[in-house]
Structure formats: C-alpha cells, structure tokens
Chain A
Amino acid sequence: MNPITPYRVRIRFAKLEGLRFIGHLDLQRLFERALNRTGLPLRYRQGFSPKIRLNLASALPLGFVSSAEVLDFWLNCPVELEEIKKSLQESLPKDIQIIDIEEIDNKRPSLQASLRSSVYRITIPISYAQEELIRGFNGLISKETIPFIRRKKTVDIKPMIESYQIEITPEASVLTLQMSSTAENNGRPDELLSFIKVDPADVIIERIQLIFEE
C-alpha cells in the first residue's frame, strides 16, 4: 500500500492532425512514456506489474482530431501546476497541446464514470453539394430510428443524437453534433455519415467538447 495521499492532476489537451491516426491504446502508452520522461513523482497502480496511474476520459476514434480531450494522472506529492504543465508539454509530441491544467479532489468520480456527452464538429468539403447534404441530413434526423450494424449487432443511433446544427459557409458545410458518450450509448458521428453518402475519409471530425455530469 502507498501511504501518501496522491495528488490528482487533470489536463485538457488537443490532439492535432499529426496524431490523428494514433489510436486510443497507443495514445495511452504515449502518455505513459511522456510522463516517464518528465521525471515527475508519478503514482503507480498497485499490482503484479504496476503501470503509471492515468485515466483518459474517452477513447477518441482513429482519424478524429480533438480540442477537448481530458486526462487525469496522479503524483505522489503536490507539484506546482505550471511546472507540471511545462515539463509535460516539453516531453509530448507537438501534436498534443496542453490547454489547461488543474488539481482535482481525489474524491471526485472517475472521468469515465462522469462523462455524459461529446460535441463533434464535422467539416464537409464543398465537393459535397450543400443543399443535398441538408436535405439528406434532415431526412435522416426525422426518422423514428436509425439502425446501424456495429460488430454484427444492430444498434439504433437515433437516441444517441442529443442535438445538432448545420452551418453552411462558402468554404464548407459544418455539422455540429452532440452525442451521448456513455459506456452503454457511445455515439459515433462517423457512423451517421454513411447515411448521407459522405466518405468519412473526406471530412475532418473534431471533438470540440466533453460534457461531464456535475
């Protein structure tokens, strides 16, 4: 057992384009190594082969970028937050940018447990006709159910869509979607794209907000 009260630190960070093809488990390993390089007094999990104690709020699908990811990690003693931010940022690849950092009460629930929803911004190039996109999307959203086959199981995406907005600019069509992000109902915006005949490889999907339960 570790007698010292751990110091819980939360960062919000952006995952930029250069790392969009690095998946969730790889990102976790990337943070373990980056934290290791800082020389900070890291807290480890208990167990046979202990790992650094860290916690990512939500897996960001491969290919997505984000300006709103959240990570908790624990230290064995308090360290000046600005100092942590500086040394961790120096040790991270440039495509991870720390936005802010704060201390979190140990009693607060885990990130995964309190995550409710995510907001995504999907930027669709104008090579996709804009009126057709609007028509297609409105048609889709007015349906009772949107069945989608996920790993051989049919799920209904409709109830996962919490709110949406379409914005048309001369440069692109921008679809903003709030979807549920819980273990039971994890909405994937790229799954909607096939219904409006958009290849997810043609668009940029950015997670712009994570919404937690207060």
Chain B
Amino acid sequence: MTIIDKKVLDKILYHVEKPGRYVGGEHNMVLKDWDSCSTRVALAFPDLYDLGQANLGLAILYEIINDRPHILAERVFSPWHDMEDAMRSQKIPLFALESKRPVIDFDILGITLPYESIYTNVLNLLDLAGMPLHASERDESYPLVIAGGQACFNPEPMTDFIDAFVIGDGEDVIFEIIDAYQLWKKQNLDKLSLLLALAKIAGVYVPSLYDVTYFVDGTIKSVDPKNESVPKQVHKRIAPQLPPPIKRQIVPNIQIVHDRIAVEIMRGCTRGCRFCHAGIVNRPVRQRKVADVLEAIDSGVKATGYEELSLLSLSSSDHTEILDMSKAVYDQNKGRRLSVSLPSLRIESFSVDLMDELKDLKPGGGFTIAPEAATDRMRAIINKPLDDKILFETVETIFNHGWLNLKMYYMIGLPDERMEDLEAILETAQKVLQIGRRLRGNRVRVHVSIGTFIPKPHTPFQWATSEDPLSIQEKINFLRDGMHQAKIKLSYNRPDSTLLEAWLSRGDRRLGKVIEKAWQLGAKFDAWDEGFIKEYWYAAFQECGVDPHFYTNRERELDETFPWDHISTGVFKDFLLEDYQMSLRGETRQDCRDGCYACGILDCFAQVRPSNEDVYWGCP
C-alpha cells in the first residue's frame, strides 16, 4: 500500500472533532526517509492521542530508535468514535502520524499496554489496521506484533493477539528484537523461525511457544515450553542504569494530558506497600544524579519551550539527594518562568520543606498526599505505616505554608477491611478540613479520592480476593454521604470498571476469547467512564462459558500456580507469600533500602548491577 490519500483524509478531518489528533507535524517530530530505512517500527498507544502522547515509555523508544541510522519509528494512536466511523466508511486503514503510511506497511508494530482496560482497543487497533486479530493467523507478510508496558507482567489474557511480549524495561531489548528481525528477514525464513529467535532474547516472552494445562477445578496445572530452546521462565529485563533523559520531547500542537516536560528522577521503589504493583515490578530502585536531572531540565526547556515540568518517580522523597535536587532546581530556574511539580511525596513535614525549596517555581493549586488507609490496623495490613500525629502535623504544615487545597488518596476494598476503617477515613478527612479551616479559614478545600483495591499479580496480595462490586458500592455510598455532609469533595471509580480491571489483570489465556467477544459486541475505550459498558462483558463471559468470579472472588490456595508465574519480575514468589502471611498477622516490614530481605532482585540481577559508584541502586 502507499501513503493515505491526503485529499480523502483532509475531507474527513474537516468533519471530525479535534482533527489535530490525527495530523502529526509537531515540533520535534521525526520524519525519516522511508526507503533508506531497512526496519520500520510503528509505536502504538491504543487510546487517544490526547492521552497517549504523554506516555514516557513510548517517547523514550521513539527517540532511541530514531537516533539510530537506517531504522525508524513512527506513532500510532486510536481514533475516537467519529474518526473511526469516517475511516471505516472511507476504507482508510489505520496509519502512522509521521508518514501517513498504513500500519500494515511497517515491519514491527510495538503496542504499549500500560493498563488492562486498554485491551479491547488493541483488538480494534489491529482490526483498523487491516490485520487478523489472532497472532496465529498472521503470517510473515504482516508486521510482527510486540507489546510492552506495565500490564505485560501478566501477558496471558492477550496471548491470542500478540506475537511477543517484552517483560520489563524496553530500552535495550528493543534493539535486540530489531537485530533478530533483520537477521531473520535476510534469511527469508518462516514466522516460526522468527518467534524462536525472539524467544532466545532475555526478557522476551513468545506465548505461542508454551502449552498451558489446567486442573479440573480450572486452576493452572502447568505452563510448559513446547521446545527445549525456549525458557521455562521469562525474567524481566532492566536498564541497570537509567538511560539518558529524552532530549527532544515532542511538543503537541493540541492540548493533551500532562502537557509538560517529564524528567524521570528515579525508577523503582523500596517501600513495599503490599497492594502496589509498580512497587514490585519496577525493582530495583535506580536513581538519577542531580547533575543529570539539571541537564535534562535545561535541555528540555530549550528543546520544547514548555513552561511546566514534572519530576517523576514512584516516591520522590526517597531519592537520596532530593533536598539538594530541589535547591539546585530552584537555583537553576529562578530566572525562568518554569513551574516545577514534585509529586509522590511522603507524608512528613520534610515534604513541605522540599516543596518550599522550589519557592515560586512550584505550581499553584494543591498539595497531594496518599495515606491509603486510616487505621493503624489497616496500615499494618497493607504495610504503609503512618502515625496519625505525623499526618496531622504534616497537614498543618501544608496549610501553614500557603496551600489551600489538599487532596488525599485512600483505598477501599482492602483485605479484612472493616466498617471502622471506613469511618476512620471519614473522620480523618473531617479533622483535616477542621485543621485547614482553623488555620486558613473557609477558603480551604479538601478532596478525597478513593481507589478500589485490586489484588494485582506479582504483589503480596496476589492471593487475596476482590470484593464484590455491590458491597464496594455500599462503601462508596457511605463515604459519599458522609463526605457530602462534611463538605468534602469525593471522587471514586465505578465498581464495575474496577471489576473489569481485576478480571483482566488476573486473567489467563482463556480470557482471550472473552476479550474478543466483548470487542465484537462493541466494547472499546473501556478505560473511559462513558466508554465502559459492563453488559458487553457479562454477555461475553456468558457466551464463552467462562465464569468471571473465578478470576476475582474466589478464595485461592497458597500453593496455586498463577497464570503469570512463568513471568518473573525478579522477586521470588516465596518472598511475596511470606509478606502476605506477615500481612495476615498484621506485621509490617520496613523499607528495604536499609536492610535486604532477599526479595530476589539482587540474585536475579547480580550480573548487571553496575560496579560504578556513580550509579545508585536502592539495594543495600
């Protein structure tokens, strides 16, 4: 095929909402000469441009691929409903923003799976591209379809559709995949040969090379490689040292979410909150030096013209040089009009000091804290200890230092949750509002955001069950009424959409046909409140004869083989189990940067741990 006819495209763009989503042409976009590149990669984020363009993972891959000669990367996003209808009626296949070439012309289609509710959009994307959905029905004439991202630590629900998954950091693996692809292409072999070659790359999982067998109760008996050259377990890959920050971040022409410079200051977290998927799968902690952060800010500002910047990590307070960094960032930028946000701060007065170091650079608006639980008992269960005295002191400091809006994150539906835990959330929020009113008067606003717990794979809570959506709804109603009376804003997720995320994140291969059915019935944009229609999913489960409760509400045996056990994050399952049992006893485990609990990371990555003293790993 050739480039999409510009006349036809322009004509439909004239009539769709926000056509700027589909045209590319942004500052720092890279358009390479198609014919002088031997391997062309389409990087897809299966949701709107407005959401996907801010994805840091894709931005890194885009830059490092395009930095190399003779290969190119272009971007692909999902069209919104109006654009999809127009494309289908005009027979325009899904195309890449840079060259406007159809996705099917590329050699490799790399799809990011940052969360599970994006899965139906992946199917829609393949369909719009004109490709068979099933990996087994795509021969070597189609692009190789690979996927990466945080959801891939349990790839099983998507194994019908994806040729190969990248587990863990993608910065190095991507080039090994491209090399293997180029070699295979030269040899003119069949697709199986390519898949076998990919399976030899550390961190690459080729699902079609494994057989899954089940017990009669439906749980997994074993997952076995079909071939002896294929590893029994796939270990994730890590970048031992954080790769250099992006030099030429694309500056969108239309407004998107997180429309600012993003500088990653640290990857991984040592806190060990038991519900936290990111905290386990992104181990070990690797942090960036202050000097490198400063350089990234400076070049970022010059390359983009942005006046907003965010320093990203899972727990900013845990960066060992965070105070120096805040001071240095202020000194560097005091003459500029740059607003710097430093999210993910611990609940302690020191966090307010850190923000104060940024002085007039900090963004207006609110301060955010994430206590997650409001009773000491529940804090011990989830391993996020917090003294109420310190919480209230911190809140006082926040209000005293000028903030008028405070946002607090809590979680409900946690293991062994009781009424008293919910009442405590309400009481804490009321007390916080009182403190604010006392110190700053009626202008103070408190906003509570409630997330619903999902027993995520690879976490100590992977043995726990999900709470029934009806009882979650009752808990939400209780909090909603209480907060409403107390004049506290409350936001929360719909219990059904949480349930969908729970099914998909804990799913096995049998869920593939359910996802496909739901998509056929019309499910897409499930991550959007207005997009998610639960009836499609219940109907799909029913038509496929799969019991949804099996994935969420069932009590699990401690020795059950999970669908994701053959994917290794580097953390031992025994370690997770020990931590789960500590949770059942109400025992906490301290931050592991001061004492190693042998989670497995150091065993798994002993070979790649840099000996260079400049490179900081959070492991002792």
Task: Write the A22-54 contact mask toward B (1 if CB under 8 angstroms, else 0).
Answer: 110010011011111101000010001110000
In the complex, the chain B residue whose C-beta lies closest to that of A62 is: B19
B108 within 8 A of A: no
B20 within 8 A of A: yes
Q: How distant is the Cα of A34 from the Cα of B251 in the complex, in angstroms?
A: 10
**A196 shortest CB reach to chain B, Å:** 17
In the complex, the chain B residue whose C-beta lies closest to that of A91 is: B305
**A50 shortest CB reach to chain B, Å:** 7
Cβ B14 vs Cβ A33 within 8 A? no
- Chain B residues numbered 221-277 whose CB sits less than 8 Å from any CB in chain A: 251, 253-255
A20 contact set on B, CB distance < 8 A: 10
B27 within 8 A of A: yes
In the complex, the chain B residue whose C-beta lies closest to that of A42 is: B337
A93 within 8 A of B: yes
Cβ B254 vs Cβ A26 within 8 A? yes
A199 contact set on B, CB distance < 8 A: 11
In the complex, the chain B residue whose C-beta lies closest to that of A44 is: B337
A4 within 8 A of B: no
Most buried by A among B14, B20, B307: B14
Q: How distant is the Cα of A44 from the Cα of B20 in the complex, in angstroms?
A: 28
B306 within 8 A of A: yes
Q: Given that A49-B364, A50-B337 are contacting pairs, would A21 and B19 also be in contact in the complex, using a CB cutoff of 8 Å? A: yes
B255 contact set on A, CB distance < 8 A: 26, 29
B304 within 8 A of A: yes
**A7 shortest CB reach to chain B, Å:** 19
B13 within 8 A of A: yes
A36 contact set on B, CB distance < 8 A: 301, 305-307
B334 within 8 A of A: no
Of B253, B305, B306, the residue contacting A19 (CB under 8 A) is B253
B303 within 8 A of A: yes
Most buried by B among A18, A21, A29, A62: A21
Cβ A18 vs Cβ B23 within 8 A? yes
**B365 shortest CB reach to chain A, Å:** 11
A202 within 8 A of B: yes
**A155 shortest CB reach to chain B, Å:** 22
Q: How distant is the Cα of A20 from the Cα of B253 in the complex, in angstroms?
A: 11
- Chain B residues numbered 1-54 whose CB sits less than 8 Å from any CB in chain A: 10-15, 19-20, 22-23, 25-27
Q: How distant is the Cα of A19 from the Cα of B13 in the complex, in angstroms?
A: 12
**B98 shortest CB reach to chain A, Å:** 12
Cβ A37 vs Cβ B11 within 8 A? no
Cβ B307 vs Cβ A30 within 8 A? no
Cβ B305 vs Cβ A32 within 8 A? yes
**B260 shortest CB reach to chain A, Å:** 11
A102 contact set on B, CB distance < 8 A: none
Q: How distant is the Cα of A37 from the Cα of B298 in the complex, in angstroms?
A: 11
B12 contact set on A, CB distance < 8 A: 201
Cβ B25 vs Cβ A18 within 8 A? yes
A95 within 8 A of B: yes
Cβ A30 vs Cβ B303 within 8 A? no
**A13 shortest CB reach to chain B, Å:** 15
Cβ B254 vs Cβ A201 within 8 A? no
A6 within 8 A of B: no
Q: Given that A37-B302, A201-B15 are contacting pairs, would A93 and B364 also be in contact in the complex, using a CB cutoff of 8 Å? A: no
Cβ B27 vs Cβ A201 within 8 A? no
Cβ B302 vs Cβ A22 within 8 A? no
Task: Write the A91-118 contact mask toward B (1 if CB under 8 angstroms, else 0).
Answer: 1010100000000000000000000000
Q: How distant is the Cα of A11 from the Cα of B176 in the complex, in angstroms?
A: 49
**B105 shortest CB reach to chain A, Å:** 21
In the complex, the chain B residue whose C-beta lies closest to that of A94 is: B25
Cβ A33 vs Cβ B304 within 8 A? yes
Cβ B23 vs Cβ A35 within 8 A? no
Cβ A201 vs Cβ B14 within 8 A? yes
Of A34, A37, A44, the residue contacting B303 (CB under 8 A) is A37
Cβ A21 vs Cβ B305 within 8 A? no
Most buried by A among B10, B254, B305: B305
A18 contact set on B, CB distance < 8 A: 23, 25
**B174 shortest CB reach to chain A, Å:** 28
**A16 shortest CB reach to chain B, Å:** 10
In the complex, the chain B residue whose C-beta lies closest to that of A23 is: B20
Cβ A33 vs Cβ B20 within 8 A? no
**A38 shortest CB reach to chain B, Å:** 8
B15 contact set on A, CB distance < 8 A: 201
Q: How distant is the Cα of A34 from the Cα of B307 in the complex, in angstroms?
A: 12
**A1 shortest CB reach to chain B, Å:** 17
In the complex, the chain B residue whose C-beta lies closest to that of A92 is: B27
B23 contact set on A, CB distance < 8 A: 18, 21-22
Task: Write the A63-100 contact mask toward B (1 if CB under 8 angstroms, else 0).
Answer: 10000000000000000000000000001010100000
**B75 shortest CB reach to chain A, Å:** 16
Of A30, A200, A201, the residue contacting B253 (CB under 8 A) is A30
Cβ B11 vs Cβ A202 within 8 A? yes
In the complex, the chain A residue whose C-beta lies closest to that of B24 is: A18
A23 contact set on B, CB distance < 8 A: 20, 254
**B554 shortest CB reach to chain A, Å:** 50
- Chain B residues numbered 414-456 whose CB sits less than 8 Å from any CB in chain A: none
Cβ A35 vs Cβ B26 within 8 A? no
B251 contact set on A, CB distance < 8 A: 33
Please, could you name 12 A-B residue pairs with CB atoms under 8 Å apart, sorted by A?
A21-B20, A23-B254, A33-B304, A36-B307, A37-B302, A39-B302, A62-B19, A63-B14, A91-B27, A93-B27, A200-B14, A201-B15
Q: A36-B301, A37-B305, A63-B14 are in contact. List 5 more A-B contacts (CB 8 A).
A: A19-B25, A21-B19, A26-B254, A91-B27, A201-B14
Q: List B residues at the A interface (Cβ < 8 Å).
A: 10-15, 19-20, 22-23, 25-27, 251, 253-255, 301-307, 337, 364
6 pairs of A and B residues whose beta carbons are closest in the complex: A33-B305, A201-B14, A36-B305, A21-B19, A37-B305, A201-B11
